[in-house]
Structure 1
Amino acid sequence: MEDERIVELFFERSNDALTELDRKYGASMIKVAKNILKNDEDAKECLNDAYLGIWNAVPPAKPSPLSAFAFKVIRNIAIKRYRRNTAQMRDERSGVSLEEIGDVLPDETDIVEQIEGSELTAILNCYLSTLDRTNLYIFMRKYWYFDQVPEISSRLGITDAAVYQRLARMKNSLHKYLIKQGVIK
């Protein structure tokens, strides 16, 4: 079913909206949550919370594309759950990918404020527009969908080492870009 029709079902307050959303994006949405949380049960809870959040947001929101909206909702819920889980107990193995580039981003409280104001988002979008298709794909799969390097390399048909090398180069270029934009010093 097309996204536009699913959104219409939400506006009609039809339970079929959730069924169709789950059919079309559920598996990918839960994968994002699992990649962040490393816990199937928490990921399932996040998926249900995401469905409730989307149900409550649409209407009045009329997301286009629906996929981006749905992934943003599940991602944000999973990150909040991750922070809540790790506030009590730190687990190095389940670290979120953004921590890998955390040393080139401003401190977390600044990030939250800037994201709310869309300033950092706009700057990151400008940076992303400078990347070629392959690097953009790698960056988004790693830091948006939280895929693991072996999965990314398998999808692209390249070695893990090549992906790690590209990620390291992008991290360095992002650091320089953020300095140039005045986001960090």
Structure 2
Amino acid sequence: MEDSRIIELYESRDQQAISQSDIKYGGYCYSVGYNILGVREDTEECVNETWLRAWNSIPPQKPKMLSAFFGRITRNIAFDRYRASKTAKRGKGEIAAVLEELDECIPDKDTTESLCDGIHLEGLINEFLGELQERDRNIF
């Protein structure tokens, strides 16, 4: 089908526009997206989103070259996904949650032995203070 006919289908809101676009330019858009992303599933989603964006933008716009129009949309979507995936790999703001989870893995600085030593020391100090007169105990 010719580009002018596909554009007419978009303008008349005929859903055949999407299927005809996919038949004629699906492979081209797929290759554009795949060259950026390198992941089949993400590329397929980019191509599907390309048809949605074309559906939403063609009535006000009338592209002169449909292949360039679809290629630009696919490229922009793929670059947005690429940036988002790189941001996700850097933590995406989840660093605090990750560190909180690691907190459970790091042993507590107070071991059972140190807690027992502290209790024993407290008992010795109380015993010592119990032997002192009230005035000396208050000074201590």
Counterparts of 1:37 and 1:81, CA distance in 2 = 8
1:26-45 equivalent positions in 2, closer than 5 A: 26-45=26-45
Q: Pairwise CA RMSD of aligned residues? A: 1.0
Secondary structure of the residue aligned to 1:75 is helix
Aligned to 2:12: 12
Aligned to 1:51: 51
Q: Tell me the amino acid that sits aligned with residue 19 of structure 1.
A: S
Counterparts of 2:17 and 2:37, CA distance in 1 = 26
Deviation at 1:87, TM superposition (A): 1.3
Secondary structure of the residue aligned to 2:59 is coil
- List gaps (5 residues or longer) in structure 1: 91-185
1:123-142 equivalent positions in 2, closer than 5 A: none
TM-score (norm 2): 0.62
Aligned to 2:117: none
1:15-164 equivalent positions in 2, closer than 5 A: 15-89=15-89
Deviations 1:145-185 (A, max 9, x none): xxxxxxxxxxxxxxxxxxxxxxxxxxxxxxxxxxxxxxxxx
Q: Tell me the amino acid that sits aligned with residue 82 of structure 1.
A: Y
Deviation at 1:89, TM superposition (A): 2.0
TM-score (norm 1): 0.47
Deviations 1:107-155 (A, max 9, x none): xxxxxxxxxxxxxxxxxxxxxxxxxxxxxxxxxxxxxxxxxxxxxxxxx
Secondary structure of the residue aligned to 1:77 is helix
The number of residues matched between the two structures is 90
Q: Tell me the amino acid that sits aligned with residue 39 of structure 1.
A: V
